Amino acid sequence: MSTKDAPTLDAQDEINRRLEGAGQRLTKGRRSVIEAMQSSDAPLSIPELQTIVGTSVPLSSLYRIITGLVDAKVLVKLEFAEGFARFELDESLDQHHHHLVCTDCGSVADVELADLEITLHATTKSIKRKVGFQVATHRLDFFGTCNDCTLT
Amino acid sequence: MSTKDAPTLDAQDEINRRLEGAGQRLTKGRRSVIEAMQSSDAPLSIPELQTIVGTSVPLSSLYRIITGLVDAKVLVKLEFAEGFARFELDESLDQHHHHLVCTDCGSVADVELADLEITLHATTKSIKRKVGFQVATHRLDFFGTCNDCTLT
DNA sequence: ATATATGCAAAACTTTTGCATACAA
DNA sequence: TTGTATGCAAAAGTTTTGCATATAT
C-alpha cells in the first residue's frame, strides 16, 4: 500500500506559510495535490497524480500547480532517468529519506537511513574542504531489484 | 578544463567487447561519441555532445547512438531534474564517482569519495536485510553552490 | 553479401504558455 | 474588489521512429 502517517499540524502550518510567502492561494486543486503528496510514500509522476486527483484538474493546471508548489518550496522535483519528472514533499516537510528504484518494474520506494546521514554530513564538510563546493543537500538513490521482483 | 586521463587499453577492449556483444559496429559516429565521453569529466547532455562531435552527426543519429550505447552498457543515462538527460561512461569503464550539481549555474562536476563507498556497501546489505531490496548500484548527487559561484 | 547504421523528415511525448473566465482573500 | 488561478487550446522542447540509402564486417 501507498499510505503514510498523517502529517503533523506543524507541517500543515508550514505549508500554509510557504504558500502565503509565495503569494499562492489555497485552492481546491492545490489542496488535492498537496494531500496526494502527503499520503504517498513514494515520489509521484504527473500521470500518477492525475489518477489520484482525478480528471477534474486538467493536465495543464496540474503542471502549473506543481510548478508553483516547487517554487514555494513545498515540493521538490526529482528525475530518475525515466524521461519524465517525479515530485515529492520537500524534505523539511517530511522525513529525509532516500529512494529504492527497481530496475525491473520501475517502482520507486522511500527508505530512511538515519545512520548514513552522519557519514554524509562529514562528507559534506570534506567536499567543501577539498573542492570548495558548498553542499546544501544531497540525493541518494539505490538501483536494483525490489522484493516483489526478486520473488517473481 | 574538461579533460581527464586517457582511458586504459583494458577499458577500450571492454568497450569493444560490449559493442560486439550487443551486435553493434564501431562506426565513425559511435567512435566520436565514445571519445567525447571518455574525455569529459562530467556527464554530457545531447546538445553538449553535439557541440563536441560537430554537426556532421545529426541529432537523430546522436540519439540513436546514445540509446545503443546505453543498451550495450557502455553509457548510463542520468537525469538531474533539468528537463533533459545527461550521459556518462558506465562506472565499470571508469572510476565510480558522485556528482556535484551547482544550483546556481547548473554545472555538474564529478567527485570521487572512496571512503564513503565502504559505508555505502554496508548500507546496501542492511537494505537487503530490512526491506528485501537487492541493491545493484547507487547514485549520490550533492546539490549546492560551486566554487566559482561562491566567489561571484 | 548482408545485417546494421545513417540521414532526413515526421511524429510522439512531456512540459510550458496565451488568453479569457472563474475564484480566493 | 482585485489579484491570482483555472481551463482550454496551441506551442515548445526533448526524444523517438519510418523508411530509403549507406556502411562495417
Distance from CA of B136 to the nearest CA of A (A): 5
Indicate the angle between helix axes B59-71 and B46-53, nearest 10 degrees. 110
* Interstrand relation of A134-145 and B134-145 (parallel, antiparallel or unpaired): antiparallel
Q: Which residues does chain B have within 8 Å of residue A85's beta carbon, measured at their own beta carbons?
A: 81, 83
Q: Which residues does chain A have within 8 Å of residue B70's beta carbon, measured at their own beta carbons?
A: none
Nearest residue (CA) to C1' of D6:
A61
Q: Which residues does chain B have within 8 Å of residue A140's beta carbon, measured at their own beta carbons?
A: 138-141
- Distance CA(A77)–CA(A85), nearest Å, equals 7
In this complex, which of A78, A80, A138 lies closest to B140 when CB atoms are compared?
A138
pLDDT in tens, A57-102: 999 999 999 999 999 999 999 999 999 999 999 999 999 999 999 9
Which residue on chain A is closest to B141 by alpha carbon? A139
- Cell (9 digits) for A68: 508553483
Q: How far is the CA of A27 from the C1' of D10 (A)?
A: 26
Contact status, residue A97 vs residue B127, Cβ threshold 8 Å: no
pTM reported for the whole predicted model? 0.92
The residues of the protein lying within 7 Å (CB) of strand C read: A 25-28, 45-47, 59-60, 63-64, 67, 83-85; B 23-25, 27-30, 56-58, 60-61, 64-65, 68, 83
Q: How far is the CA of B60 from the C1' of C10 (A)?
A: 12
Kindly tell me the sign of the dihedral angle through the C-alpha atoms of B15, B17, B18, B23.
positive
Which residue on chain A is closest to B126 by alpha carbon? A113
The pLDDT value recorded for residue A1 is 53
pLDDT tens sequence for chain B (152 residues) = 556 777 777 889 999 999 999 999 999 999 999 999 999 999 999 999 999 999 999 999 999 999 999 999 999 999 999 999 999 999 999 999 999 999 888 889 999 998 899 999 999 999 999 999 999 999 999 999 999 999 98
- Distance CA(A124)–CA(A137), nearest Å, equals 9
A6 to A10, A40, B9: CA distances (angstroms): 11, 10, 56
Model confidence at A42: pLDDT above 60:
yes
Q: How far is the CA of A44 from the C1' of D14 (A)?
A: 21
Contact state of B133 with A100 under an 8 Å Cβ cutoff: yes
